[in-house]
Structure 1
């Protein structure tokens, strides 16, 4: 059977072929014929069984499929009268041999259903599929069994349990095990402690044999269609056709409920994440597809960053990335990826001193994650710098208050208090320069409170602004003839800003006037 469980093999396969360009946003079908009949069958249209099996052939058409079905039906119609005269065991053997002689010539591991009618090439999946159709047509009850590497049929289950092995022609193709064989097989299982004698005694040898060798779980004709696509996916995988392998696994999963298709799809997409050239934005759709089955946020954020940090991507490409990220279905994951994207954009814009763009992206990050320290930092740097570029006046105090109301976190940043020192220093200097002592004292109180809080030197502030503030205070008192007060305030300024040249110069001037 064409199920090569090659998970470890494909992890070390060669790079993706450049010609594998498949639409990753929705399953890509080989033809309109495949899409219509496959999806109909997937949705329960039982009459499309043969068409669904044939759709895996990209050259299949409605007329070709109809002709194949008609030929099969005519052949089976010819078997119907004679098969009715046989007992169940002979009937199964007769049908088996006639179908095998008519349709099967060569066993090939990678054959698909349409190959039966092109070259009489088959494997256990396609062979079993044709026998299920024949048994349905001729009224033979059956069950379809699956093992990890094989599928086969059991005709007349619970009555004769006739094993139908499609890959073996002649007498070996269908048989009923004798009571002797059954007893010997079960006794061996008991001796190996695989089964217990109590269990065998309670259910009987025949049921114990059937349950162990044939299994309790059956698969359906729909599963057979899915297994055919699963097999094709494995062969494409082993041939390093990863993208096409993925879509065959996807088709398989629509009709074949099995965990291994999900495992393989995740493995294939992981390979694609490492091998695809994401400088070609067409390939970014595979990243979005990957997010549907792998939601390891840290890895996806790392992978996204490695993609968007490629210098070959244009601004148009980046717009496409943003639009595609909006399609990620998981809200938390989408927000995390958007945060990574906006962080990259903000960082790049800020490095190129495009502060308006950096602020735009920082605000988007902040909306997604108010705890993002980089977003807070960009907002603090840019907004406070914008404020600092304006003419300094008491109106800036209102601006600063408004800004903190919008971004309360600004008070956590040193730049906020540095700006306040600068602003209050200017307001103090301006007030005393204009002989507005009451206003000046109020501003000075705020300034000195800030400077006292920074007694340990945790804040870098503008020494020139401090010198200007205390210098204007000294000048005010000097103009008023209050030289002692002038000296007292200047020396007080030196307590907050030692060795301040502006303050020391004013002190020297006053000393020279004595």
Structure 2
């Protein structure tokens, strides 16, 4: 099988994105950058997760390897297929592979000659690629090996014993991995109880005998490196290696490992910092593996409680929210997170009597969840408090009318209707007091319309009495007794027991 240079297409909801990868050397960064732009250099990708060789030494190793392969290819060109493959195998093994080592990276072949089945298989595949010898790479639960001429001759090349050529995972890792799958309901409770750990792990981790290409093999090397780090409890470093493994080999198995390791990394990180936010954002993409939006929102709510209300770190909370949401593409999840952020920030400011500052946050909650009564309640409480600092009742009326047009759901809230009625009533009273009769009648009509439409709203009866009494006095002094009586009668309709209205009504009978 010749090398595939197909580049992983990255949709916005891809589990891994290039701009989020963590690199440990400039060589690795540049190699992946070229890969991203479809300049696929497999030798460099195999070398990129190491740290033993400088750029110069890597180039020297590459040149030495390919020069030798060219010579071996020329020297064996006349041999029959089977004998040629054996000659190439023996020559490369003698020249480059000095000592088997279980935990191994490809670069070590060129550093000290140490190898394992993955790195050695990669070496032979590179040689066959250069010599245009057909091959395929097979991966089994405990082994990776190469088959030359897979369509006819099927010559198997074992770089190590099948029983000792592949890194063996610990029982603890296998048990935890299967438990995650069971929690996600990818394994039924019955199957989990009926089969042993090894059988289940081989089935769900490895699947069937798999054929991989060289690019995917480079991904498997990153996967192995992640497993080494997992065994050492270096979950965060393991996660970063698995992300690169997935870029090179976007298989379901690596996706499951990504989720498993990402969840472990997230759970082990107690500090609610930017890294914690990045991890939570990434975990939100694993919807196919059992992560739902409520889990993400719940974790953000816990971070909110810790940063805002326990530690009082509002700036850090703002940063956490920005980092968490900047790469989330699912709109409903973004809206749910925005609701928590705006509601809780507004609640914090309200508790600090900073109602003017809280109001914009509560407005956003009403856009997101217009029917939420808790959000409406805090919004209206903050709004009412801000009226204490306003010098103009007309300004209050305009603000209330604007909110009425903007948030139609508030019309079902009698706290809001009471605020509007109160503002109209105040303006009705003020207008008659300053002889602006037409204006006063306008706001009297608005008040009465609202009070009639919502008869159960609670309105200050003293203000009703004062407003209608002032209007009655105005018309009484004008000699319009009948009209004065009409105002007093109407006022008593909205405040039946108001002392001032009753008294004035008796006086002008």
TM-score, with length taken from structure 1: 0.70
What is the deviation of 1:232? 0.9
Residues 243 and 120 (structure 1), Cα distance of their counterparts in 2 relative to 1, 3 Å cut = same
* Structure 1: tracts of 5 or more residues without a match: 1-22, 170-214
SS in 2 for 1:340: helix
Q: In structure 2, how many angstroms separate the alpha carbons of the residues matched to 1:256 and 1:444?
A: 73
Identify which of structures 1 and 2 has the higher relative contact order when contacts are C-alpha pairs closer than 8 Å and 6+ apart.
1
* Structure 2: tracts of 5 or more residues without a match: 1-16, 163-207
Q: Which residue of 2 aligns with 1:302?
A: 298
Deviations 1:327-371 (A, max 9, x none): 224151334323321222112112212112111222344455655
Q: In structure 2, how many angstroms separate the alpha carbons of the residues matched to 1:440 and 1:462?
A: 18
Q: Which residue of 2 aligns with 1:239?
A: 232
Residues 411 and 91 (structure 1), Cα distance of their counterparts in 2 relative to 1, 3 Å cut = same
Residues 48-447 of structure 1: pairs in structure 2 closer than 5 A: 48-73=41-66, 75-76=68-69, 79-80=72-73, 83-137=76-130, 140-168=133-161, 218-293=211-286, 296-309=292-305, 310=307, 311-312=310-311, 314-325=313-324, 327-330=326-329, 332=331, 333-367=333-367, 375-383=375-383, 385-387=385-387, 390=390, 400-426=400-426, 447=447
The answer (yes or no) to whether the contact 2:140–2:210 under 8 Å persists in 1 is no
The answer (yes or no) to whether the contact 2:414–2:457 under 8 Å persists in 1 is yes
Q: 1:29 aligns with which of 14, 18, 23?
A: 23
Q: In structure 2, how many angstroms separate the alpha carbons of the residues matched to 1:365 and 1:345?
A: 11
Deviations 1:122-155 (A, max 9, x none): 2211111112233345554322222344321112
Q: In structure 2, how many angstroms separate the alpha carbons of the residues matched to 1:308 and 1:24?
A: 29
Q: In structure 2, how many angstroms separate the alpha carbons of the residues matched to 1:313 and 1:385?
A: 24
The answer (yes or no) to whether the contact 1:42–1:222 under 8 Å persists in 2 is no
Q: Which residue of 2 aligns with 1:460?
A: 458
Q: In structure 2, how many angstroms separate the alpha carbons of the residues matched to 1:98 and 1:151?
A: 20
SS in 2 for 1:154: strand
The RMSD of aligned alpha carbons is 4.2
Q: In structure 1, how many angstroms separate the alpha carbons of the residues matched to 2:315 and 2:466?
A: 50
Deviations 1:212-250 (A, max 9, x none): xxx997422212111111111122123221221122112
Q: In structure 1, how many angstroms separate the alpha carbons of the residues matched to 2:245 and 2:232?
A: 18
TM-score, with length taken from structure 2: 0.71
What is the deviation of 1:254? 2.2
SS in 2 for 1:284: helix
Residues 282 and 229 (structure 1), Cα distance of their counterparts in 2 relative to 1, 3 Å cut = closer
Q: Which residue of 2 aligns with 1:199?
A: none
What is the deviation of 1:482? 11
SS in 2 for 1:163: strand
